[in-house]
Structure 1
Amino acid sequence: MFRVVTPKNDQEFEKYFAFRWQYLRQPWNFPPGSEKDEYEQVAEHRMIVNSEGEVVACGRVHMNTAEEAQIRHIAVHSAYHRRGLGQMMLGALEAVARDQGAIRAVTNSREISIPFFSSCGFVIEREAPTELGLLKRQQMVKKLTDLSSLVLHPKWCTELQKTWSETIPITEHMGIKLHQYTGKTLETRASLNKNINVHGTMFAGSIFSLATLTGWGMIFLQLKEKQLEGDIVLGDGDIHYHKPITMRPRAKCNIESLSGKFSILESNKKCKITLQVNILDDDTPVAEFKGVYWILPGKEASDAKRT
């Protein structure tokens, strides 16, 4: 299981910068310290850690102007390539940029990284200054205002939001919105003001609802990815709360947490899917939800609707 975290203390920043140097500077024989520049104090830093707390990816974003964010220093551990962590990190940095008011993002990409950024919606604008006087780069740009820059498969995501609104009215009352879908990770958010208790924190029941709907939504989108159909129902759910939510409720479900065989649906049999949803207050993990869902195919789904 992977999660995006913000380094907060000296020990976490030491791990973060060591990782950045190892993957972005050491291969070209630059000394420790060369991974840092004059923007570190004004930038937002993120890293992805695995279930053991080890850093497996990193990235940074800072504002060039009130409307332009610059994304830099994305790196992924060599043992974790092709697992969607680059997209996961980029998505997190773009979310930070949007929250700070950016309407476009720029990155100075080396030749080897151009295909990655192109696949994520960036286009080459012009040649950029070489990095450390050695590494040739291209400046790439992406608008952050288009729906397609926020989610993969925007039509599916629009359909999911509409399905929630029409068939699960609580989503409207709670202000639950799909925030980002990368194909690997689904993130939803809820309005704290619509779910606040007398203590100024989010209702525990609202947190549980946000988690179950996020898991439901991830399965909905995976069915679309696999060109399958079925009715999704929650079989069982278990949540562990660690801290209250006082700022910004977020829920994230990563495809790595899904377990089950969607292919069973092709035999007109119900399919069991288990998954995990992580709940955060802004960037602070506050709860984990583990859910068991059933997907009812064909005739069984129709019978379930009538009963």
Structure 2
Amino acid sequence: MFRVVTPETEEQLERYFTFRWTYLRQPWNFPPGSEKDEYEQVAEHRMLVNGQGEIVACGRVHLNTAEEAQIRHIAVHSDYHRRGLGQMMLGALENVAREMGAVRAVTNSRETSIDFFSSCGFVIEREAPNELGMLKRQQMVKKLSDPSSLILHPKWCKELQKTWAETIPITEHMGIKLHMYSGNTLETRASLNKNINVHGTMFAGSIFSLATLTGWGMLYLQLKERQLEGDIVLGDGDIHYHKPVTMKPRGICNVESLAGKYTNLEKNKKARFTLHIDILDGDNPVAEFKGIYWVIPPPVRENK
């Protein structure tokens, strides 16, 4: 399980900057403190933590102009490479940039990171000033206003939204929409106004439903990725509520939390999967959900 956290306390910020220095400055023999610059106070900082609260990735975004955001300092723990955490971190920063009103994101990429940013939709615009006076960089750009930049496999995502509407009508009543799918992360959002109780907060049952459908959607899309079919049903769900939802209900599911055997479906047997979903109110974690889902393969057609 991984989740995006905003470092706020002094202890969190110290850990965040230490992580940044360890992976982005120490390898070049630059001293502690060199990881900071004049934009720290006006930037938005994010870090990715594992189930034990340990930092596994970090990143930062700030506005250059009202429409342009600059993404910097993305780093991933060496023990967690090739697990999609860099894309997860970048996606979180892009979402922050959109919420700040940016329609374009720029990053000054080292030569070793160009392939990564290219795979995430960035293109080289021009040569950028060297970093630390020694590392050659290219400025890369991505349009954030393009809806397709939010969604991988838009056709599948449209089918998922339609399936929800036709087979799970509660999604329409709750205003649940698929907001983002990167292949690694699925984000859903719900209308607070359609799910508000007498206390001005979101119904606990609505939070449970948002979590359930977020996990259901991730499994649906992962089956599509593998060209598999089956009926998805919730077997069991366990949720822990920490805080009320008062502003912006969001469901986040990362593919790293998915566990199960697709080989059973390939053998036309039902398969059991577990998923972890985080419910947030804006950027604040408010609930954690663990779901057990079953996928029932379609009936075998007999040849006549």
| TM-score, length of structure 2 as denominator length | 0.96
**Matched residue of 1:205: which SS?**
helix
Superposed counterparts of 1:1-307, under 5 Å: 1-299=1-299
Letter of the 2:94 counterpart: E
Letter of the 1:145 counterpart: S
Moved over 4 A (4+): none
Gaps of 5+ in 1: 302-307
Letter of the 2:91 counterpart: G
Question: C-alpha separation between the residues in 2 aligned to 1:194 and 1:63?
Answer: 33
**Matched residue of 1:75: which SS?**
strand
Question: C-alpha separation between the residues in 2 aligned to 1:84 and 1:27?
Answer: 22
Gaps of 5+ in 2: none
Letter of the 1:168 counterpart: I
- Check conservation: 1:147, 1:154, Cα contact below 8 A: no
Count residues with an aligned counterpart. Answer: 301
Kindly state the Cα deviation for residue 77 of structure 1 after the two structures are TM-superposed.
0.4
**Matched residue of 1:207: which SS?**
helix
Question: C-alpha separation between the residues in 1 aligned to 2:241 and 2:300?
Answer: 35
**Matched residue of 1:52: which SS?**
coil
Kindly state the Cα deviation for residue 54 of structure 1 after the two structures are TM-superposed.
0.9
**Matched residue of 1:156: which SS?**
helix
Letter of the 1:185 counterpart: T
- Tell me the C-alpha RMSD between the 2 structures: 1.3
**Matched residue of 1:298: which SS?**
coil
Kindly state the Cα deviation for residue 98 of structure 1 after the two structures are TM-superposed.
0.7
Partner of 1:305: none
Question: C-alpha separation between the residues in 1 aligned to 2:112 and 2:12?
Answer: 28
Letter of the 1:182 counterpart: S
Question: C-alpha separation between the residues in 2 aligned to 1:110 and 1:65?
Answer: 23
Kindly state the Cα deviation for residue 47 of structure 1 after the two structures are TM-superposed.
0.2
Question: C-alpha separation between the residues in 2 aligned to 1:161 and 1:83?
Answer: 27
The Cα offsets for residues 202-239 of structure 1, whole Å up to 9 and x where unpaired, read as: 00010001000001000000001111011111111121
The Cα offsets for residues 114-138 of structure 1, whole Å up to 9 and x where unpaired, read as: 0000000000000011112111100
Question: C-alpha separation between the residues in 2 aligned to 1:290 and 1:281?
Answer: 18
Kindly state the Cα deviation for residue 282 of structure 1 after the two structures are TM-superposed.
1.4
Question: C-alpha separation between the residues in 2 aligned to 1:3 and 1:162?
Answer: 28
Letter of the 2:241 counterpart: Y
- Check conservation: 1:241, 1:286, Cα contact below 8 A: yes
Range 142-151 or range 18-27, more displaced = 142-151
Kindly state the Cα deviation for residue 37 of structure 1 after the two structures are TM-superposed.
0.7
Letter of the 2:23 counterpart: Y
Kindly state the Cα deviation for residue 300 of structure 1 after the two structures are TM-superposed.
7.8
| TM-score, length of structure 1 as denominator length | 0.95
Range 195-204 or range 282-291, more displaced = 282-291
Question: C-alpha separation between the residues in 1 aligned to 2:300 and 2:270?
Answer: 8
Kindly state the Cα deviation for residue 3 of structure 1 after the two structures are TM-superposed.
0.7
Letter of the 2:86 counterpart: G
Kindly state the Cα deviation for residue 61 of structure 1 after the two structures are TM-superposed.
0.4
**Matched residue of 1:36: which SS?**
coil
Range 140-149 or range 115-124, more displaced = 140-149
Partner of 1:304: none
Kindly state the Cα deviation for residue 166 of structure 1 after the two structures are TM-superposed.
2.1
The Cα offsets for residues 152-181 of structure 1, whole Å up to 9 and x where unpaired, read as: 212211211121122222112211111211
